[in-house]
Amino acid sequence: MNQILQKKKIPLLGALFMVLSGFCFAIGNGLTSTIVYGLGFKPQSDAFYQYLIALIIGLPILFRYGAAALKTKHIGINVVRAVLSALGVQAFVMCFAYGLPLWKIVVLVMTSPFFILLGAALILREKVGPDRWIAAAIGFLGGLVVVQPWATSFSWADLLPVVAAIMWGIVSLMTKKLTAEEPSENITVWLLLLLTPINLALSVKAGFEVPGSQIIVYLLLGGLATYLANFMLTKSYEVADAAFVQPFDDLKLISNLLVSWYLGAQLPEGNIWLGIALIASASLFLVWREGQKPGAAAQPAQ
């Protein structure tokens, strides 16, 4: 397993993994929308089953590497990472229960870099230049345009994707630390192992639901998509630097728009596109600016 960490960086391969990860996430999102919103299945149960199936799919790694697949120096980080990831997943799937459009959910999740920037300044006391603050302000403005809190149709459910963005932003920073010392296979297995009981507890609290035959098929496909998305995301950060591959993560918006179109869902209209453009451009600028830091290219990815 240690040989994995000794591989040379391959930027284009990392970009490909990131794009494929976004595509798998988009497929999983479309399936979740169908299961939760279309078929009325409880979102908490959907999250549990999909990640349980993803864990089962990942079991061959355990059989192949044995105890080595569970070797970690950072059990505490893995536990906290799993808890925050579970909270993000629950907030995310609840979006579908409230009928939020897929494109809106994904766009607002893209605000994650802005919250990371805010946390770095207020909590970690990092020095943040005025250009980055301006980019963050533009991104928040874009988020307001998308959410439209002044509209009569606004509800607090529109903020659920933002909650998921905050949780997953912190998780990404933890993943970055882990990939510096541990293989992506180990990181993925630990996440799935810990997510399953956490999601089960949340599902039981909300009223555990047993799926019917049609939903089982969708859950199986969703679990496969979830596993592949998480594995390829971690693999992307393992074989390439974060500063290079992160911009490719924003391409998931296109993947989700295509999935939304395929499902016949409503697509963004009018000035919503302005909000999307503001978020995307500000996010890309922050990623580029991060890459300009001294030694950024040599840092391990998320």
Chain segment 78-122, per-residue pLDDT in tens: 889 889 999 998 999 899 888 888 888 888 887 777 776 776 666
Q: Residue type at 233?
A: L
**More confident call, 6 vs 173:** 173
- Whether 271 shows a pLDDT value over 80: the answer reads no
What average pLDDT does range 233-250 have in this prediction? Answer: 74
What average pLDDT does range 170-174 have in this prediction? Answer: 77
CA-CA distance, 66 to 122, in Å (whole number)?
Answer: 42
pTM higher than the cut 0.75: no
pLDDT attached to residue 69: 66
Neighbours of 194 (CB within 10 A): 21
pLDDT attached to residue 5: 44
State the Cα angle at 74 between 69 and 75, rounded to 5°. Answer: 75
**More confident call, 123 vs 233:** 233
Look at the block and give the residue holding tokens 């630390």: 177
Burial of 227: CB neighbours in 10 Å, binned 0-12, 13-18, 19+: buried
Dihedral angle at the C-alpha atoms of 110, 111, 116, 118, nearest 10 degrees? 170
